[in-house]
Structure 1
Amino acid sequence: MRHGKKINHLGRKTAHRKSMLANMACSLIEHKRINTTLAKAKALKQFVEPMITKSKDDTTHNRRIVFSRLRQKEAVTELFRDVASKVGDRPGGYTRIIKLGNRLGDNAEMAMIELVDYNELYNASKPEKKSTRRSRRGGGKSTTAAPVATETKAAESKSETKASNEEE
């Protein structure tokens, strides 16, 4: 039984797994997008999102915590300088995983993981929503114009009937 075993070991020992995730996180911060297997992308998402949350509050303590996990000074400075300013108002969900299909060699599921705020294709073309709402109660037609039109039609039909009666 696997009660309480939430971490994906990725077929590696602990030290190897932590080093691999640290290297992948540094690559993600540097390049803003990387291609990897789906299992590694999901593990990387769990690894990197708490560090991005810590980078929003630039304190020495948070820098030391992030540096102890990333182990690259350049990645830490870029995370706290560039990435934190870009995701400052976002409450979470800093990464996006897009499935790419299967790898030719071993048929492994491939995925692209990227930082959400750095993709201009998805963020640039969001149309503004209309603030007005339409109701189902005949909002398109004016309610006062309809009775006037029926009254004029009724008056015309009465005058036509009187004219036809006078002719006879």
Structure 2
Amino acid sequence: MPTPTKGPRLGGGPAHERLMLANLSAQLFEHKRITTTVTKAKRLRPVAERFITFAKRGDLAARRRVLRSISDKLVVRELFDEIAPAMAQREGGYTRITKIGNRAGDNAPMAVIELVLEPVSPKQAVVREASNATKAAAEKPAEQNAEQPAEATEAE
């Protein structure tokens, strides 16, 4: 888990915060989206994304590392067998936080945090290929321009 920030913790002490974030991430992996406060969602994002990164590795050590925090074996199995293959092409940004307004009882700002299970946009891959092709094309004319004057002087 990432190092806790300095200052006030979510719920009291650092151990309670770690347990709370582990439980929130287990619920996120089980239900694919949860509604919580904005502060908890922002603190949950790096923890959940790190668990997904471990799951993408897929080896036994990574599974045991996740099981240290999330004790529910069914949730860990779902994380490694269903969620990680869906995130295989994605290089990061496994979660999305959407603010939904304030809670009726205490006016706390609420948010929905969800897993981004859509496949990576093919447009992004096309843009990446186009930028690489542009760089390659920019390098080729520079080389050709350097060769053309030499050939032109030889022809004269």
TM-score normalized by structure 2? 0.70
| Counterpart mapping for 1:18-29 below 5 A | 18-29=18-29
Letter of the structure 1 residue corresponding to residue 78 of structure 2 = E
- Residue 93 of structure 1 corresponds to 93
SS of structure 2 residue aligned to 1:56: helix
Q: CA RMSD in A?
A: 2.7
Letter of the structure 2 residue corresponding to residue 78 of structure 1 = E
Letter of the structure 2 residue corresponding to residue 76 of structure 1 = V
Number of residue pairs aligned between Structure 1 and Structure 2? 124
TM-score normalized by structure 1? 0.66
- 51-60 vs 9-18, greater mean Cα deviation: 9-18
Question: What percent identity do the matched residue pairs reach?
Answer: 45
- Residue 5 of structure 2 corresponds to 6
Q: 1:67 to 1:108 in 2, by over 3 A?
A: same
Whole-angstrom distance in 1 between the partners of 2:102 and 2:86: 32
Q: 1:5 to 1:59 in 2, by over 3 A?
A: closer
Whole-angstrom distance in 1 between the partners of 2:50 and 2:87: 13
Question: Per-residue displacement from partner, 1:11-56 (whole Å, max 9, x unpaired)?
Answer: 4212221211111111100110000000000111021101101111
| Counterpart mapping for 1:29-108 below 5 A | 29-108=29-108
> Where does structure 1 differ by over 6 angstroms across 4 or more consecutive aligned residues?
126-131
- Residue 131 of structure 2 corresponds to none
SS of structure 2 residue aligned to 1:110: strand
- 75-84 vs 8-17, greater mean Cα deviation: 8-17
Larger helix proportion of the pair: 2
Following superposition, the deviation at residue 106 of structure 1 comes to 1.0
